[in-house]
Each structure stands twice: as structure tokens, then as C-alpha cells.
Amino acid sequence: MNLPVYCVKPIDNKKEIFCQHYVFYEKNRLWIVPKVFSKKTINPKIFLKLKKEYSIESILINDYLKPKKETVCIMDHINQAGTNFLIGNTPEVGLPTFPDMSNIYNEIKDLKKNIVYTVGPKRFLNSVVLEGKIISHSVGLVSPVWHYVGVKVYAQNNL
């Protein structure tokens, strides 16, 4: 699957800046990384501009998970980050005020499917993994915004 990748990891090879995101090509993929992880950079207005500029129809969100044992396909999330980047940013360009978020994620074949608990970047470093739960850095904050602007979302962990 050679989709554009939205990644939260820090990067060294900053190529181009568009809409407060580093955008570059590496390994024949378009990589998009926010300069700052915040509501100012992750919102429907910005994502619609990224979608249009780079003709994005589908995206692979690469996230950090705990515990990190194997690459897994994220199929759902429970947002425990204390925020949501859609709050106060809908409706946008004729899109609904209260969008359906029941089926955000698409399956990545050959990967184990998991539900994650997104705690956000600030809480992730100090989060404790409870038996049978997978903690996510940020997929539950980023994926609803991509889904809202009409981009097909795939998600996996960053190993």
C-alpha cells in the first residue's frame, strides 16, 4: 500500500513547508508531518488545503503505540486525550456540524486489527499500559479530521 503518510514522529529532513506541515518525499511516499501538534495545525481548514494541494484521497496514519510488539492495523480508537480537533471547527465548506465517526478506519490486510486508547502526546510518555489495552499517541486526534474532510483513513503503529 503506497499511500501518503501522516506521521507524528520528529523529522530531520525537512523539505517543504505547506500549511504548517513538513511535506517531503521519502521511499517513494509523500510524508506529511505537523510542525507543531496542535489545533492550529490539525484542523479541517488545514487538512482540506493539504488534501487539495497533494490530491489526497487516502492516507496512512503512522502512530506510536504502547506496548509496541508488532505492527498492527488500528481499526478504532477511544479518545482519552481530553480534546478533539473537530470541536469548534465544524461545519466546514458544507460539511456537517456533527459528522458520523462510526467507521473512520479501513483495514490493512495481513495485519492484526486492534482498538487503541488515544491519550495524546503530553500523556503518552508517562502513560501506563493496563492489561489488554493498547495506548496510542495521537491517532484518535488526527484520524477524525482526515475522515471529516473526506479522506479514506488507514492507520498503523510506527515501529
- Report whether 123 contacts 140 (CB < 8 A): no
pLDDT tier for residue 13 given thresholds of 50, 70 and 90: low
Q: What's the mean pLDDT when you consider all of the chain?
A: 91
Quote the pTM value.
Answer: 0.92
Q: Beta strands of 105-158 (E only): which ranges?
A: 105-106, 112-118, 135-136, 152-157
Residue 51 domain-assigned (yes or no): yes
CA–CA–CA angle 92, 95, 96 (5° rounding) = 110
Residue 130 domain-assigned (yes or no): yes
Helices marked H in 16-151 — which ranges?
44-53, 121-124, 139-148
Residue 156 domain-assigned (yes or no): no
Contacts of 103 (CB under 8 A, 6+ apart): none
Query: pLDDT tens-digit profile of 50-74?
Result: 999 999 999 999 999 999 888 999 9
Task: Identify the domain containing residue 119 by its residue range.
Answer: 5-151
Task: Give the pLDDT score at 124.
Answer: 92
Instruction: Give CA–CA dist 52/56, Å, rounded.
Output: 7
Residue 83 domain-assigned (yes or no): yes
Task: Give the pLDDT score at 158.
Answer: 75
Task: Give the pLDDT score at 110.
Answer: 93
Query: pLDDT tens-digit profile of 69-103?
Result: 889 999 999 999 999 999 999 998 888 899 999 99
Residue 157 domain-assigned (yes or no): no
Number of domains in the chain: 1
